[in-house]
Structure 1
Amino acid sequence: MARDGFDRVLTIPNALSALRVAGVPVFLWLVLQPYFGNPNRDGWAVALLALSGATDYLDGKLARRWNQITRLGQILDPAADRLYTASTLLALLLRDIIPWWFLVLLLARDVFMTFNVAALRRSGYGPLQVNFMGKAATFNLMYAFPLLLLASGDGAVADWAHVFGWALALWGAALYWWSAGLYTIQTRGLRRGAAPAR
Structure 2
Amino acid sequence: MHRKFLTLSNLLSISRVLFVLPSAYLIFTDPQLYRWEIVSLIFLAASTDYLDGFFARRFNQITEMGKILDPVADKIAIAVLCIALVFSGKISIWFCTLVILRDLAIMIGSLRIMKIKKVTIQSNWIGKWTVTILAIYILSTIIIIDDRLWLKTGLQVISIVMVFVSFISYLRRYLEEVRSVQE
- Partner Cα distance (1:30, 1:91) in 2: 9
**Which structure carries more relative contact order (alpha carbon 8 Å, separation 6+)?**
2
> Match of 1:193, SS?
helix
Q: Which amino acid aligns with 1:11?
A: T
Residues 1:189 and 2:176 aligned together: yes
- Post-superposition shift, 1:115? 4.1
Q: 1:19 aligns with which of 1, 10, 15?
A: 15
TM-score, normalised on structure 1?
0.80
Aligned 8 A contact 1:136 1:172 in 2: no
Over the residues paired in the alignment, what is the CA RMSD in angstroms?
A: 2.3
What pairs up with 1:36-115 in 2 under 5 angstroms? 40-115=33-108
Are residue 179 (structure 1) and residue 166 (structure 2) matched? yes
Alignment length, in residue pairs? 181
Structure 2 vs 1, CA of residues 132 and 93 (structure 1 numbering), >3 Å: closer, same or farther? same
Partner Cα separation in structure 2 for residue 127 and residue 52 of structure 1:
24
Mapped to 2, the partners of 1:119 and 1:15 lie a distance apart of 26
Helix, strand or coil at the partner of 1:167: helix
Name the structure 2 match of 1:146. 139
Distance 2:17 2:85 in 1: 19
**Paired-residue identity, %:** 28
Q: Which has the larger radius of gyration?
A: 1
Task: Report the AA paired with residue 159 of structure 2.
Answer: G
